[in-house]
Structure 1
Amino acid sequence: MNSSLRHLCVALTASLLIPASAFAGDRSDWPDNFTVGTASQGGTYFAYGSGWAHFVAENLGVSGGAEVTGGPVQNMALVHAGELGFGLVTLGPAREAIAGESPLAPGVKMDNVCAMFPMYQTPFSITVLADSGIKSISDIPDGARIGFGPAGSTSDSYFPRMMETLGVKFKRRNGSWSDLGGQLQDGLIDVVAFAAGIPIPAVSQLEVQSSINILEFNPDELKKVVDAFPVAPFTIPQSTYRSLSADSQAVSMWNFAATNCDMPESFVYEITKLTMENNDKMVSIHKAARSTVPENYDKNTVLPWHPGAARWFNENGYTIDANMIK
C-alpha cells in the first residue's frame, strides 16, 4: 500500500471512531463477530451495509463485516434462521415474509426478525441510454429487455409488477446492478429498473461513461402504482445526478436495519445508540444515511422492535408501544 493510500485509510478509520469509554458495560453475552446481509455489489445496500458494519466493528470492538446477498427477501430468510445476525430489509418484502408469503419459503412465517433503526427510502427509478430515444415510461417498446436487479431483490419483487400495471410488455433480466449497468452500455439490455437508495453507485458510474435518461412517473402512472403497491411518492432531487435537469418524480419504500430477535439486548442497544447518535458518521459512509435519523422510527409499521433498540428509542423520547416490542 503506498503512503498516500495508507494515510487515507488511517484518516477514514479515525473519522469513524467514537471514544471507547462511551460503550462501557457487561459484554459477556455478546457474539465474537457479526455479519450484515446486504445485496449485490454496485448497489446502495452493499455500500451502506459494508460501511456500517465497519463503523460498528471499529467502535464496539467486535469483528464484523458485510455479506453479498440477493437483497431484502434473502436477508429476511437468513436473519430469521439465525444464519446472519443482521440484515438490511425493505418493508414491503419484510411484510410478505412475516405473513408467510416470501417467494423463498412460501408458508413459512419469518417472525424472528426485529427492527433496529430506520435507514432510508428506496426510490424506484428507471434508467436508459439517451441514444435509445426512450424519454418516458410510455416510450418503452414492447419486448424491451429490462434488468430488474438480483433475483429476489426488492426491485425484482416489485418493479416487474409495477411495469405490468403500467402496461409495459418486457423481457425480464436479472443480475447485479453493476453487471446490468454494463449490459445497458453494451446494448445487451434496453432498460434498468433500479430500486436502491440514492445516489445509486451504478447510476453514478453509468452517467460518467454514457449519456443517460432517468425516466420519471407521470401523474397518472404515479397514481396507478401508489394505489396498487406499498409505496409512496418520492422526489429525486436534481442534484442527485448530473443527468437530471430537474427534480424527478419516483416512488419509494422504506428500509430498516434488522436483527435476529434473539440477539443480546445490550449489544443491539449499543449498536442502535452508536448509529442513531452519530448521523454525521453515517452520512460519511453513504449520503442516503441523511434519513438514518431517529425521527423516522415511526415509518416502521411492519417489523416488531428488538428490545434493545426499543429501549434506546424510548429512553430518548421516541415512544414505541410495548405491543410492538418482541
Structure 2
Amino acid sequence: MKRTYLKGFSVILLAGSILAACGSDDSGSAGSGDGEGLDTNIVTIGTGGSSGPYNIIGTALGERYSSEFGVNSKTQATGASVENMNLLAQEKIEMAFVMSDVLSEAVNGEGNFSEPVNNVQQIAALYPNYVQIVTTADTGIETIEDLVGKRVAVGDQNSGVEVNARNLLNGHGITYDDIQVDYLGYAEAADALKAGQLDAAFLTSGIPNASLMELEQSIDLKIVSVSPEKIAEIAQDQSYFVALEIPAGTYGNEEAVPTAAIMNALVVRSDLSEDDVYQMTKSFFEGLGDLANAHQAATEISLEAAQEGMVAPVHPGAQRYYDEQ
C-alpha cells in the first residue's frame, strides 16, 4: 500500500509539473518577446492588393504583433484605402494602411464618404506613395494630357489609387468622360498592359512596385511625367499632393521622372485602448528594420517625420509614445 501511495504521489507530481509547464508556456505566449501583451486578442490589418507594399509591409507587421504580443494578428487583402476606411467604420478590422487623400475625405465626410468616419485615429504618417503613370513606348503618350481618348486603368474602384488618379486628372482638366476607364488593381493592370489591352495605367504605391518590376522585364515600359508646377497648382486645393521624383533606374528609366506623391498613413480604430495602441506604436517603430527588410518602401518611414502631415486626430496611445521620445 505504501508503494502504491508513493507511486501515485509521483504521478501527481509529474502531472503537476507538466501542467505548470504548460501554464508557463501559455502565459509566455501572451507576451512573448519584450511586449507586455494587449487587451485585444485580434489585430486585423487592412492592406491592399496582395502584391502591393501595403500588404507586404502589413504582413511583416502582423507577424511581429503575433510574435511579440501573442495575439491573432493578420492582414486582410482589400481594395485598399476607401474599403479599409469603411471596414474600420464597420469595426471589421482594427488597423489599416491608407492614403492621406482618402483619410482626409473620410474624416471630413467628403468625396467617397457621405458622412464623416468618426471612429478612426492616426498612428503615424508613413512613406510617400508615388503616382506611377505607366505606358509603353509605342503608344506615343508623353504627358497626362495625352491620355485623352485612351484606355486607362485607374486602380480598383474607390481605391486610394482611383481617388488620386481622378483628382490628378481633374487638376489637368480631364474627366472620366474624356478617357476609357478600366478599374484594375496593380497586378491586373500590369497584365492588361502586357497583353496590349490598355494604353496606360495608374499604379500609385511606394516604390518599387512589384508588379511594375516584373512588367519592366517583358515590355518597353515608360513612365509618364507630371509637371511639378502643375502639382503645386493642384495642391492649393488638395494639400496632400506633393512633387517628388521616381529615381533613375527604378524601372530601367535612365533619368529621374517627376511625378505627384501622397503620404501614406497608419490608422487604427479609436476604441482600442490607449495602452494597446501605445504598445502597437512602440513595436511598429522598434520593428522598422524588419519592415524595411520586407519592402524597400518602409525605409522611408521614420520616427522623426511620423507626426508631419497627419490629416486625422492622433490616437492618445500613439501620442503617449511620441511624448516619451
Q: Name the TM-score class by shorter chain.
A: 0.7 to 0.9
Counterpart-to-counterpart distance in 2, 1:237 and 1:138: 23
Asked whether 1:193 is paired with 2:205, we answer: no
Counterpart-to-counterpart distance in 1, 2:254 and 2:235: 25
2:143 to 132, 136, 158: 136
Q: CA deviation at 1:121?
A: 0.8
Matches within 5 A, 1:196-215: 196-215=205-224
Counterpart-to-counterpart distance in 1, 2:33 and 2:221: 49
Counterpart-to-counterpart distance in 1, 2:295 and 2:126: 11
Q: CA deviation at 1:118?
A: 2.6
Counterpart-to-counterpart distance in 1, 2:181 and 2:234: 19
**Helix, strand or coil for the counterpart of 1:34?**
strand
| Paired position in structure 1 for 2:34 | 22
Counterpart-to-counterpart distance in 2, 1:81 and 1:186: 38
**Helix, strand or coil for the counterpart of 2:196?**
coil
Asked whether 1:267 is paired with 2:276, we answer: yes
For each residue in 1:76-109, what CA deviation from the matched residue of structure 2 results, as whole angstroms up to 9, or x when unmatched?
A: 1211331110111111111111111252x41x21
Counterpart-to-counterpart distance in 2, 1:275 and 1:260: 16
Where in structure 1 are there 5+ consecutive unaligned residues?
A: 1-18, 317-326
**Aligned residue identity for 2:216:** E
Where in structure 2 are there 5+ consecutive unaligned residues?
A: 1-30
- Percent identity of equivalent pairs: 23
**Aligned residue identity for 2:129:** T
Counterpart-to-counterpart distance in 2, 1:240 and 1:55: 29
**Helix, strand or coil for the counterpart of 1:296?**
coil
| Paired position in structure 1 for 2:155 | 149
Counterpart-to-counterpart distance in 2, 1:278 and 1:46: 16
1:35 to 34, 44, 52: 44
Q: CA deviation at 1:220?
A: 4.5
**Aligned residue identity for 1:135:** E
Counterpart-to-counterpart distance in 1, 2:229 and 2:58: 35
Question: Alignment length, in residue pairs?
Answer: 291
Counterpart-to-counterpart distance in 2, 1:21 and 1:187: 50
**Helix, strand or coil for the counterpart of 1:209?**
coil
| Paired position in structure 2 for 1:61 | 70
2:251 to 241, 253, 256: 241
Counterpart-to-counterpart distance in 1, 2:311 and 2:145: 33
Backbone CA RMSD of aligned residues = 1.9
Counterpart-to-counterpart distance in 2, 1:173 and 1:99: 28
Counterpart-to-counterpart distance in 2, 1:73 and 1:102: 10
- Residues 128 and 264 in structure 2, CA contact (< 8 A), matched pair in contact too: yes
Asked whether 1:164 is paired with 2:174, we answer: no
Counterpart-to-counterpart distance in 2, 1:39 and 1:133: 31
**Aligned residue identity for 1:232:** V
Given the two structures, how large is their TM-score scaled by the length of structure 2? 0.83
Cα 1:304–1:189 change in 2 (3 A) is same
Matches within 5 A, 1:285-304: 285-304=294-313
**Helix, strand or coil for the counterpart of 1:188?**
coil
Counterpart-to-counterpart distance in 2, 1:304 and 1:166: 31
Q: CA deviation at 1:192?
A: 0.5
- Residues 33 and 68 in structure 2, CA contact (< 8 A), matched pair in contact too: no
Q: CA deviation at 1:153?
A: 1.0
Cα 1:113–1:276 change in 2 (3 A) is same
Counterpart-to-counterpart distance in 1, 2:292 and 2:91: 29
1:127 to 134, 139, 147: 134
- Is 249-258 or 296-305 further displaced after alignment? 296-305
Counterpart-to-counterpart distance in 2, 1:131 and 1:294: 43
Q: CA deviation at 1:47?
A: 1.9
- Is 47-56 or 287-296 further displaced after alignment? 47-56
For each residue in 1:240-288, what CA deviation from the matched residue of structure 2 results, as whole angstroms up to 9, or x when unmatched?
A: 222x111111111111111101112222111211111232212101111
For each residue in 1:153-186, what CA deviation from the matched residue of structure 2 results, as whole angstroms up to 9, or x when unmatched?
A: 1121121232233244311110221011101111
1:251 to 250, 260, 282: 260
- Is 204-213 or 215-224 further displaced after alignment? 215-224
- Is 295-304 or 259-268 further displaced after alignment? 295-304
- Residues 80 and 113 in structure 1, CA contact (< 8 A), matched pair in contact too: yes
Q: CA deviation at 1:228?
A: 4.3
Bigger-Rg structure (1/2): 2
Given the two structures, how large is their TM-score scaled by the length of structure 1? 0.83
Counterpart-to-counterpart distance in 2, 1:135 and 1:271: 44
